[in-house]
Amino acid sequence: MQIIRKVVIPLYLNYNGNRRSWHVKRILESWTWSAEQAKEAQRERLAETLKHALEQIPFYQDQVDLTALDIRPDNAEEALLHFPILTPGMVKTYFDELQIQPRPKGAFLNRSGGTTGVPTCFYLDQASEDWVRGIKRTHQEAMEYRLGEKKWVIWGSMNERQRKQAAAKTRLIRGIVNIKRIQGFSLSNEELDEILAGMQKEKPKLLLAYVDILYRLAERAEETGLDMPKDMKMKVTAGTLYPTMRKRIERVFGPSLFNCYGSREFGDMALSCKEKQGLHIQGLAFYVEAIDENNQRVEMNETGELLITTMVNQTMPLIRYRIGDRGSLSNSQCSCENPWSRIEQIEGRSQDLFYAKNGRKISPNALVHFCWVYGMEYQTRVQIIQRDYGRIEVHLLDMGKPHEIHTNFEKETKREMENIFQEPLRIDIMWKKELAYAPSGKFRMIQRRMDE
């Protein structure tokens, strides 16, 4: 197989990667620019995107009080404010009007992971797909991984049957390029032990996983006293990498942990570097804003809801798309000297903000600590769910052990949580046979499930 890889992989890269190689070269070159050069290039691309939308996309022609002639690179960021904030519901309602008509040959339908309900459908074109693949290759180069080295992908999937029936061609390609794909949805301790044993034996060069899956593996390795290899490159996505999670993962598997921010709508949008000072946005492909509850842009380093504008999809450009995540942005210089702005911190999904009746909004960051506290006290996994104002459920995973009541601990924890909410709380402790997963297979420790 090694001989086959040495022959096939270069042919594969030449056949399928010439356009993407241009993107990789362009992105890597942009990492050497000054901050001024990067900002100028981004404004030019943003202006081109907005002009294209006003010239070719019916939805924006109807909704925006500007013409393409009004937009220049020097005013593109201000012109963007004239465009409506686009929600997944609007994409469904105005699906046809958000596309070029007629749709270009080669455009293909994709869909979001459906984390919050019914997936959102959208079209990608060959140009956007080349950018998506080019960015992934760039990120792999940044992590010092080369195609053909052993790579494990541990991913959540609600449809195990579909995974098992993957096309023979797909399985063959994975074998040739040395990719092992492992189903990671709701893993048992026995399955975690099997994966950890395989990691010790095979020593993958790169591991790609949901944040929660890799954290569970680190947690299980410590529970069972395993000494794991410390030189593996790790890339986590599809979840919030909280500081406590990073600390444990790096303690178990080593320091080469990269955090990636991406989505099905856009692909990889930002990646952390070795300096771990936030996530560098791929500014040639995406423009990211953070807004407050009044839909006004917040200052740099302030937390807000993230809006994404793609500058690479001409068939169905999503502009100011409300992706549902909260975070803060920074344009200060990173120690690695990458000139692009950074997502300084991802603070979780916007639907995971908890609400107090007094008007306070509680960030998931303030609550995730209690998941660790309850987990350590009861030696199990934890999910915290808001059902109503003043009513919170703490779900504990039933591990088949006797359920003890820790009255003093629960009183003290309730008092600490009420100090954050600044109002009385009803906290119900519930043992569950299973914890709730999102339809996409993601696990979220903090969830708000209350009427708005």
pLDDT higher than threshold 80 for residue 364: no
SS3 (DSSP) at 172: helix
- The continuous run of DSSP H or E covering 214 comes out as helix 211-223
SS3 (DSSP) at 33: coil
Contacts (Cβ under 8 Å, ≥6 apart) of 8: 176
Cβ proximity of 427 and 394 under 8 Å: yes
In 57-142, alpha helices (H)? 58-63, 76-79, 88-93, 126-142
Strand partners, 354: 362
Q: Which domain holds residue 442?
A: 354-448
Using one digit for the tens of pLDDT, what is the confidence trace for 19-34?
668 888 999 999 999 9
Cβ proximity of 328 and 290 under 8 Å: yes
> Per the domain annotation, does 115 fall within a domain?
no
> Per the domain annotation, does 385 fall within a domain?
yes
> Per the domain annotation, does 98 fall within a domain?
no
Report residue 8's pLDDT band, with 50, 70 and 90 as the boundaries.
Answer: low
Predicted pLDDT of residue 355: 85
Taking the model in full, what pTM does it have? 0.79
Average pLDDT estimate for 132-160: 82
> Per the domain annotation, does 229 fall within a domain?
no
Sign of torsion over alpha carbons 209, 214, 215, 217:
positive
Residue type for position 188: S
Which DSSP state fits 223?
H
Strand partners, 446: 384
CB count in 10 Å sphere of residue 22: 12
Give the C-alpha separation, 288 to 306, whole Å: 7
> Per the domain annotation, does 201 fall within a domain?
no
Using one digit for the tens of pLDDT, what is the confidence trace for 368-424?
778 878 888 898 889 999 999 999 999 999 988 888 888 999 999 999 999 888 899
Rounded to the nearest angstrom, the gap between the alpha carbon of residue 354 and the centroid of all alpha carbons in its chain is 21
Give the C-alpha separation, 196 to 357, whole Å: 45
Give the C-alpha separation, 248 to 298, whole Å: 32
Domain count, the chain: 1
- The continuous run of DSSP H or E covering 209 comes out as strand 206-210
> Per the domain annotation, does 310 fall within a domain?
no
Q: What is the CATH number of the domain that holds 397?
A: 3.30.300
> Per the domain annotation, does 226 fall within a domain?
no
Average pLDDT estimate for 36-54: 97
Give the C-alpha separation, 410 to 412, whole Å: 5
Please measure the distance between the N-terminal and C-terminal CA atoms of the chain and give it in whole angstroms.
Answer: 56
> Per the domain annotation, does 374 fall within a domain?
yes
Report residue 277's pLDDT band, with 50, 70 and 90 as the boundaries.
Answer: confident
